[in-house]
Amino acid sequence: MRVDLDLGDLGFDEGAALLIRRALRASPPGKQVLVTGCAPDLDLHIESWCRSEGHEVKFRRSNQQTHAVVTCGSAPATRWLDAQRAGLPNPAVTGAVSDHPSRRWGLAARGALVESNVPEFDFNLVDRAKVWVPDAGHIYTLATAAQWDPATAIPWQAQFESDTEIEDAVVQIMTYLIENETAALMVPSRFIAQLHPHFQEVMQVLAVQAADEARHIEVFSRRARLKRDLLGCSTSGGQESLKTLIDEPDFAVSSFLLSVLGEGTFLSLLWFLDEYAPDPVTKMVSRLAAQDEARHVAFGIAHIREHLANHPGKREQLTNAIRRRHDRLHNTSGLNAEVFDALVHVAAGSWSVPDLRCGYGRVKRLIAEMHDLRRKRLVQLGYSDEEASELSGLHTRNFM
Amino acid sequence: MSEPLILGAVAYDDKVVSIWEGFKSYFFRRGLEFDFVLFSNYERQVQMHFANQIHIAWNSPLAWIQSQRIAASSGRQAHAMCMRDTDRDLTSIIAVRSDGPIYSVAELKGKKVAVGAPDSPQATLIPLHFLTEHGLTPDVDFEVVRFDRLAGKHGDHIGGERDAALALMRGETDAACMIDSNHLLFTQEGTLQPGATRVLARTAPFDHCNFTVLDGAPADLVNRFRDLLLSMSYADAEVRRLFELESLKQWLPGRTSGYSALNAAVDRFGVIAPFVTKVAAACG
């Protein structure tokens, strides 16, 4: 059967190739299309285009019109013969997310038809059982809806008087928060680059987490510099603790240590700062960061729960990771004295003995609450009360 | 390990390494020991071919004619074994600006005509010969403006033709010569703006590259190479990647009927005679 295609005065400089390709699409070799048209140089361009596409063309001349009979070559029909469908777009559909997506699917969107000669990509995280979180799409939606603008969400212009030493304490706490948030940015960022993009929603959650942390770094930095030109101290013990997170090569272990235990503990700290902040800016940056961190913790728990459901044997590896980290940090100082003192001072509000006693008690209750919530999260993941209590006690004294 | 079949190719672009490494792996998995040597210019490749340093040369049309003439002068045989489907029946065109006053070849007299590299069959030698056939002698009846990119590559690099097209668009020349596929490319990519140029003339069809084999090459290896080439299918994903790099859909048997225009151009301009004489003398 032959198809007629009238290009009118449409030339190859305005898209004529699209119409010819459409007429030949999915055509068996040998199918003919009679192309007519009157654009300048149309003969020349049809002939050259057909040669490069592997089609035959013969011309019939008449008046000023081009009459070209294009016979479909074998190339278009064979091109997609061995293409693969890279899963399905909707992750809720059974089989949509592949257990072991091919590295040759590369960067293709999930659900795309992938040509077979795509080069192989060096993704490391390619097993669904290790990375997939069924609720990731929902968590991502919540995360994007909850994004806030540091320029407008924080009352930067608020007028407040601050005691010089209280301000010093706030600056020290912000300095500590910044380096912890930097670790929390770098860890998911590294795994994004290793993750097969087939697990699209997980990739997106990690990306928005990294963006969250970037924003936290911004607002903590800005709060620290509100009344000071210099920041506080960064200690070797604190950095030694964070380095264990940066150095952890396993995605699940990293997620467990950082999101479930570290950010979970940090959540208590940020709500503590929201409650005892000496000024409205400190209060708001802590509150907004806490809201973001809560999502990170929820994703971490969902990830580890799914992972343990697929790999019950992984529990031992996670347990060992806590013990190993504890052993590595055993001889370090953990939370630096400057940060601890700053927290007490901020919670006390002054150096008076009654206030200091009160502030000290609040920080002790904070640490007890951190332990209690860590323990509960571990129980959520299937640990016994006894195990959870012991493992929570081994968590870094640096909080994150 | 047995002795491999050694092919020569000219490195006109970085992708040449990917192309021949890909072919090497493909042939190796099918039992053909194969290796390749890259040259920086076709003259060196032809010279080394006649010095028996390579068994097969992936030759430009000009290198084919050089080889054919050296073989004829030195009592040897040159054979065009295979070529791409896209090497057959090409044409060159001469473009002018649509709003210009030139409507016939004769009106190029006294004008400036942009061409590609001096050794480019499609963008220089064949179109200049075409104009000669129509009564206009280059550098006498019209000024030849050369856009020389990568001499020795025989116009394989697209840069010279693109520069010629851009010179036409800027009004620095009155006409520009290029192969038909590049006219299509420049039109689609916008180097030649829509409606800004007209095709003033088009040459008769000619052929382009071929695998050249000289007498004395190891027949069993050459035949195996030829059979593998002709059996390669675009439907095979591995082959398709290589074919797309090398711009073909199918290998075809070689033919020599499509080089008459270039032969005539070479005779008229005398561009390869000293090289042919030198290499033929070395063979003797």
A27 secondary structure, DSSP code: P
> Quick one: pLDDT at residue A286?
98
> Quick one: pLDDT at residue B1?
57
A104 secondary structure, DSSP code: G
**Partner-chain contact A51 B86, CB within 8 Å:** yes
Region A40-54: what's the mean pLDDT?
Answer: 94
| Cβ atoms of residues A304 and A381 within 8 Å | yes
- CA gap B19, B264 in Å, rounded: 32
Tell me: the pLDDT tens digits for A312-344?
999 999 999 999 998 888 777 667 788 999 999
Q: pTM score, two decimals? A: 0.80
- CA gap A135, B65 in Å, rounded: 68
Task: Give A48's pLDDT tier (boundaries 50, 70, 90).
Answer: very high
Distances (CA, A) of B274 to A5, A173, B198, B261, B277: 53, 82, 38, 20, 5
Nearest to A2 by CA among A70, A103, A74, A80: A70
Sequence-distant (6+) residues with CB within 8 A of B117 are B123, B124, B146, B147, B148, B149, B150, B151, B153, B154, B155, B157, B160
**Amino acid code (one letter) for A246:** I
Chain B positions in Cβ-Cβ contact with residue A51 (cut-off 8 Å): 85-86, 88-90, 181
Tell me: the pLDDT tens digits for A280-317?
999 999 999 999 999 999 999 999 999 999 999 999 99
Tokens of A197: 């993009």
**Tens place of pLDDT per residue across chain B (284 aa):** 578 999 999 998 889 999 999 999 999 999 999 999 999 999 999 999 999 999 999 999 999 999 999 999 999 999 999 999 999 999 999 999 999 999 999 999 999 999 999 999 999 999 999 999 999 999 999 999 999 877 789 988 888 999 999 999 999 999 999 999 999 999 988 899 888 999 999 999 999 999 999 999 999 999 999 999 999 999 898 899 899 999 999 999 999 999 999 999 999 999 899 999 999 999 87
Interface test with A, best of B25, B26, B234, B247 (most A CBs within 10 A): B234
Chain B positions in Cβ-Cβ contact with residue A53 (cut-off 8 Å): 249
Nearest CA in chain B to A42: B184
| Cβ atoms of residues B164 and B178 within 8 Å | yes
> Quick one: pLDDT at residue A26?
65
Enumerate chain A positions whose Cβ falls within 8 A of a Cβ in B: 11-14, 17, 40-41, 44-45, 47-49, 51-54, 73-75, 78-79, 81-82, 115-117
> Quick one: pLDDT at residue A330?
79
**Amino acid code (one letter) for A251:** F
User: Taking 80 as the threshold, does the pLDDT of residue A62 lie above it?
Assistant: no
* Pairwise pLDDT comparison (A394 vs A215), residue with the higher score: A215
A217 secondary structure, DSSP code: H
Tell me: the pLDDT tens digits for A133-142?
999 999 999 9
> Quick one: pLDDT at residue A202?
98
Q: Tell me the torsion sign for CA atoms B34, B37, B41, B42.
A: negative
Q: Provide φ and ψ at A271, rounded to 5°.
A: -65, -35
Smallest Cβ–Cβ distance between B199 and the set A12, A13, A41 belongs to A41
> Quick one: pLDDT at residue B56?
98
Distances (CA, A) of A301 to A42, A143, B93: 63, 16, 67
**Partner-chain contact B237 A52, CB within 8 Å:** no
Chain B positions in Cβ-Cβ contact with residue A79 (cut-off 8 Å): 234, 240
Provide the mean pLDDT of chain A: 94
- Residue ranges of alpha helices (H) inside chain A are 16-24, 42-53, 75-79, 128-131, 136-145, 150-153, 164-192, 200-224, 236-247, 251-255, 264-276, 280-310, 314-329, 337-348, 353-380, 385-393
Nearest CA in chain B to A18: B188
Nearest to B248 by CA among B9, B10, B85, B90: B85
> Quick one: pLDDT at residue A76?
79
Interface test with A, best of B184, B186, B193, B197 (most A CBs within 10 A): B184
Nearest CA in chain B to A73: B249
SS3 (DSSP) at B141: coil
Which secondary-structure segment (H or E) carries B275?
helix B273-283
Task: Report yes or no: B15 at the A interface, CB cutoff 8 Å.
Answer: no
> Quick one: pLDDT at residue B260?
97
- The answer to whether ipTM exceeds 0.85 is yes
